[in-house]
Amino acid sequence: MLHSAAALLKIAEMNYSGGNSIFIRTLIEKRYALPFRVVDALVHHFIKFRTDTRDLPVLWHQSLLAFIQNYRQDISTEQKQALLELLHHHFHHTIGPEIRKLLSEYKCRDEEDEQYAIMDEAN
């Protein structure tokens, strides 16, 4: 698990290539418990494409979908909004709606923390 997390962190920091998407998707689909640092790096990896004007391949969209399917509860509210904005710039007709649906259905990591904080204050 530790080696996979380190590999994901390094791949997320690299310049984009189609191979990166394959490795990212493959490692994400193993569903390891990743440190928030790696999750944040992956979010940043996807968000940096917001200003990219080229059409991104299906591999990129599939890796984003795999990330959202497996780690949507580990992103912050701010990251969630940035990813939703990213979908306005790079939208795939079949994958995009699924990503939006998954993002809207689940609470973010900071929303859960607020819930526990309120419960602690009540006690």
What are the structural domain ranges in the chain? 2-122
Give the whole-angstrom CA distance, residue 62 versus residue 106: 19
- Tell me the CA distances in angstroms from 76 to 3, 23, 111, one per residue in order: 24, 24, 8
Query: Mutual orientation of helices 18-28 and 36-47 as an angle, nearest 10°?
Result: 150
Residue 113 has pLDDT above 70, yes or no: no
- The pLDDT of 51-61, averaged and rounded, is 93
Looking at every residue in the chain, the average pLDDT score rounds to: 90
Of 18, 80, 14, 22, residue with least CA distance to 47: 80
Longest dimension (CA), the chain: 53
The share of the chain scoring above pLDDT 70, in percent, equals: 90
Report the predicted TM-score, pTM, of the whole model to 2 decimal places.
0.86
Give the whole-angstrom CA distance, residue 17 versus residue 98: 24
Residue corresponding to tokens 């949507």: 72
**The predicted structure's pLDDT at residue 115:** 53
